Amino acid sequence: MIRINENYLKLTSSYLFVEIARRVADFQKQNPGKEIIRLGIGDVTRPLPKACVEAFARGVAEMGEAEGFRGYGPEQGYAFLREQIAEADYKSRGVDIDADEIFISDGSKCDTGNIQELFAGDISVAVPDPVYPVYVDTNVMAGRSAAFADGRYGGFVYLEGNRNNGFVPSPPSGRADLIYLCFPNNPTGAVATKAQLKEWVDYARAHRALILFDAAYEAFITDKSVPRSIYEIEGAKDAAIEFRSFSKTAGFTGTRCAFTVIPKTCEAFDKEGNGHSLHGLWNRRHSTKFNGVSYPVQRAAEAVYVGDGPSQVREIIDYYMANAGLILEKMTKLGYNCTGGVNAPYIWIECGSDSWTFFDMLLNRAGVVCTPGAGFGRRGEGFIRISAFNSRENVEKALRKIEESI
């Protein structure tokens, strides 16, 4: 008899953004012709930067020529991209990360989901609440939780985020072995200071724990004092893995390219307490289960760093951040408490009611899709998230419609 992994039965309904898409599709069916503006899932709308498109096309053309054709590439990514990343994202900012500590992949969602495979089943997992649901769901699938009850899975250490701590939780007093942090934060848009991240790095080192630091929104940081990488914190190279993505930075959500940084000094431990290199284990996993990102896509990603690429990328980010500014300004003016929108493309809004009810109200009255905070955890109840990823015209129209409907 073929048996299932019963941990999947513990999962609550569907993945958050699938559930939202289902509700929006239902609404559209019942209201054909009604305009819907999507400020829910953080999916980019601006076209790829021209430099990336040109590099992409050159890569495709090379693949069509006998001299340029390539078969399987290195699973870890081509050196040309890894070296650019090491230089532009790390060394030029005073952070010592080598090209071979960078693993190119097809997405940070996949990497943050897959990485937990390296760890024992009985470790204690700490997740913020509210939280990007992938960290939670993938650990439920792996059997690290008990049943779901009252808005939470048993067995996880939930790190409470609220207005008092600015949605930047402090380390717990008890044990946490694997710690998920995301800054700039999805969903709240909050950022952590160096001092706050240092507390986490110190905790992780003292407890031989590991931080999984999701920095997918790093490019949206405008405040120069805010750290862009966990490795800006002394000691982090021994205790943290960092995830970054071209998805939001350069419009690659449909093109797929990201990377994970695993410093060679970063270790996890066996039962006897002997340290093992996570770099080596991930390399083993990656080369066994992954065949690399396609050559033209890696050439397109490389273009983010060279020639006109950086300024074109900056222009796209500035465009979305101007949207974020408009959303933040309007929602604040309408009397809502808001977080984010300054160093992040998400605005987290205390909506004053049940968040799915507010979601339905906005959809029905304004035709605007947001993300209900409750989908990010128990502490997300009473909030919604509005994403800045859409055209200026649609954001302005959505804000007018919101104002008219509340």
Which residues of this protein are in contact with ligand MLT, per CB under 6 A? 41-43, 109, 186
User: Cis (ω within 30 of 0) for the bond into 187?
Assistant: yes
Cβ atoms of residues 380 and 187 within 8 Å: yes
Rounded distance, CA 236 to CA 202, Å?
8
Question: Tokens standing for 380?
Answer: 């997300």
> If you ran DSSP here, which 8-state letter would residue 118 be given?
G
User: Cis (ω within 30 of 0) for the bond into 32?
Assistant: no
Q: What letter represents residue 302's amino acid?
A: E
Q: How far is the CB of 109 from ligand MLT (least distance, A)?
A: 4
Nearer to ligand MLT, 171 or 189 (CB): 189
Angle at the Cα of 239 from the Cα atoms of 76 and 145, rounded to 5 degrees: 90
Query: Which of 262, 200, 259, 278 is closest to 233 using CA atoms?
Result: 200
Q: How far is the CB of 41 from ligand MLT (least distance, A)?
A: 4
Q: How far is the CB of 384 from ligand MLT (least distance, A)?
A: 13
Q: How far is the CB of 96 from ligand MLT (least distance, A)?
A: 28
Measured between its terminal Cα atoms, the distance across the chain in Å is 55
Cβ atoms of residues 189 and 389 within 8 Å: no
Task: Please state the three-class secondary structure of 130-167 as a single string.
Answer: CCCHHHHHHHHHCCCCCCEECCEECCCEEEECCCCCCC
Nearer to ligand MLT, 241 or 386 (CB): 386
Q: How far is the CB of 346 from ligand MLT (least distance, A)?
A: 8
Question: Tokens standing for 280?
Answer: 């080596």
Nearer to ligand MLT, 77 or 375 (CB): 375
How far is CA 90 from its chain centroid? Answer: 19
Nearer to ligand MLT, 41 or 88 (CB): 41
Taking 3-state DSSP, the helix, strand and coil percentages for the chain, each rounded to the nearest 5, stand at 45, 15, 40
Nearer to ligand MLT, 15 or 27 (CB): 15
Give the sheet arrangement for strand 125-129, strand by strand. 102-105, 258-261, 240-245, 210-214, 178-182, 125-129, 157-160
Nearer to ligand MLT, 43 or 62 (CB): 43
Nearer to ligand MLT, 201 or 398 (CB): 398
Q: What letter represents residue 283's amino acid?
A: N
Nearer to ligand MLT, 161 or 171 (CB): 161
Rounded distance, CA 259 to CA 266, Å?
17
Shortest-Cβ-distance residue relative to ligand MLT:
42
Q: How far is the CB of 107 from ligand MLT (least distance, A)?
A: 8
Rounded distance, CA 127 to CA 40, Å?
22
Q: How far is the CB of 224 from ligand MLT (least distance, A)?
A: 25
Q: How far is the CB of 188 from ligand MLT (least distance, A)?
A: 11
Query: Which of 259, 216, 263 is closest to 240 using CA atoms?
Result: 263
Nearer to ligand MLT, 135 or 336 (CB): 135
